[in-house]
Amino acid sequence: MRKTLIKGNDAVVRGALLGGATHFFGYPITPASEIAHGAADLFTRSGRTFLQAESETSAVNMIYGAASSGARVMTASSGPGVALMLEGLSYMAGAELPAVIVDVQRAGPGLGNIWPEQSDYNMCCKGGGHGAFHNIVLAPSSGQEMTDFAYRAFDMADAYRMTVIILADAYIGQMMEPVGFPETVRHGARKRWAVYGDESSRRNLISSIVMSQTGMSEHNLALQEKYKRVARDLTDWEEIDTEDADFLLVAFGITARVASTAVRQLREEGLRVGLFRPKTLYPFPGERIRELSGRVKAVGVAELNDGMMADDVELAGKGASPVHRYNWFGGMVPTADELASRVKEDLRG
């Protein structure tokens, strides 16, 4: 496959178009702005629809409307913008509308700065709005995965009638790497539940309100069953040197890139360290982490927040091994040497 040197933010636009995206509604925000810029160019040149909304709140409601009519819709933003979309995400979950959202995380809270963090983890993985719902959350660690995940995301969204969030970070979005692109363009099929303004879809109704306790309960129970299917079907991860590991590192996104180099360095020093990288943050690969936790002496979770994923790792491990937390904030990303040094300290301890 011929490869192109390209930013992650640009790669995700191309992956989305090849994956069948038809509409982009959004509002630019650093460090995700290139996605809106690229969509404005490539969506219109491809005969698709691009519209810059006046705000992120408007954009998510445009997504709701277009998804209701069967379109394959997406947007992109960063933490402050996604936070403004949470009401819309809850409504979309209630109405079971498929969509794709790219979150290129920046430091917070508040406006913070434009450097990378991974502190949108809880916002995106623990619902993202009111009510008992989930979004599918994918965690790319390269420009290639920005393309690949966007290419697959619309099929996932349609199959389960859910929002798919591609949870990247400023480094993954801004870093230039060689990326190969699929040769086949995917297209969405007509959706039997959507409203097309014709006779066959006349009786279809898109809504998230159910005016009875029994009906609302039944709807929520059906959603929970769907989330169980998602967990069975979509949970994905990568393992490096876990077969004989005494110490397991867990990381996602840019931190996993650093961790993979740290693992290689530690292995060269004779230390049996392995890496577990979740590709899906929801559904979370807790069962596999539980298995590995029972085989190693300790687990270390490296992330650019206060230990949000570490909480899930501890729950999954059920106390089988102690969990060490390696955390950075404010756009600070550790070097492989820094992370390896932290691991060696805990191994000595």
Domain end among 208, 234, 260: 234
Q: Are residues 338 and 247 in the same domain?
A: yes
User: With pLDDT > 90 as the criterion, what percentage of the chain qualifies?
Assistant: 98
Q: Are residues 244 and 96 in the same domain?
A: no
Q: Is 162 helix (H, G, I), strand (E, B) or coil?
A: coil
Q: Are residues 43 and 180 in the same domain?
A: yes
Q: Please report the pLDDT score of residue 118 as a whole number.
A: 98
Q: How much is the average pLDDT of 128-137?
A: 94
CA-nearest of 249, 225, 252 to 308 is 252
Q: Are residues 216 and 244 in the same domain?
A: no
Q: Are residues 152 and 52 in the same domain?
A: yes
DSSP 232-273: HHH--EEEES-TT-SEEEE--HHHHHHHHHHHHHHHHTT--E
**pLDDT, tens only, 143-163:** 999 999 999 999 999 999 999
Tell me the C-alpha distance between 104 and 116, whole Å: 8
Classify strands 280-282 and 323-327 as parallel, antiparallel or unpaired. Answer: unpaired
Domain end among 234, 250, 274: 234
Average pLDDT of the residues of the chain:
97
Q: What is the CATH number for 99?
A: 3.40.50.970
Residue count (the chain) = 349
Tokens coding 233: 């079907």
Q: How much is the average pLDDT of 165-175?
A: 98
Q: Are residues 162 and 302 in the same domain?
A: no
Q: How many CA atoms lie within 13 A of 244 on its CB side?
A: 4
Q: Please report the pLDDT score of residue 2 as a whole number.
A: 84
Q: What is the CATH number for 285?
A: 3.40.50.920
Model confidence at 349, in pLDDT bands (50, 70, 90)?
confident
Q: How much is the average pLDDT of 322-336?
A: 98
Q: Please report the pLDDT score of residue 346 as a whole number.
A: 95
Tell me the C-alpha distance between 320 and 295, whole Å: 8
Domain end among 234, 254, 285: 234
Q: Which residues contact 256 (CB under 8 A, 6 or more apart)?
A: 141, 275, 277
Q: How many domains does the chain have?
A: 2
- For residues 206 and 128, which has the higher predicted lDDT (pLDDT)? 206
Q: Are residues 180 and 321 in the same domain?
A: no
Q: Please report the pLDDT score of residue 146 as a whole number.
A: 98
Classify strands 280-282 and 136-138 as parallel, antiparallel or unpaired. Answer: antiparallel
Q: Are residues 220 and 308 in the same domain?
A: no
Q: Please report the pLDDT score of residue 128 as a whole number.
A: 80
Q: Are residues 279 and 171 in the same domain?
A: no
Model confidence at 42, in pLDDT bands (50, 70, 90)?
very high
**pLDDT, tens only, 296-319:** 999 999 999 999 999 999 999 999
Q: Are residues 107 and 185 in the same domain?
A: yes
Q: Are residues 168 and 254 in the same domain?
A: no
**pLDDT, tens only, 210-245:** 999 999 999 999 999 999 999 999 999 999 999 999
Question: Residue 327 sits in which domain range?
Answer: 237-348
CA angle, 86 then 112 then 93, to 5°: 10
Q: Please report the pLDDT score of residue 1 as a whole number.
A: 65
Q: Are residues 295 and 344 in the same domain?
A: yes
User: With pLDDT > 70 as the criterion, what percentage of the chain qualifies?
Assistant: 100
DSSP 83-138: HHTHHHHHHHHHHT--EEEEEEE-B-STT-BSS---TTHHHHHS-SSSSS---EEE
Q: Please report the pLDDT score of residue 127 as a whole number.
A: 76
Is the pLDDT at 49 greater than 70? The verdict is: yes
Q: Are the C-beta atoms of 316 and 284 separated by less than 8 Å?
A: yes
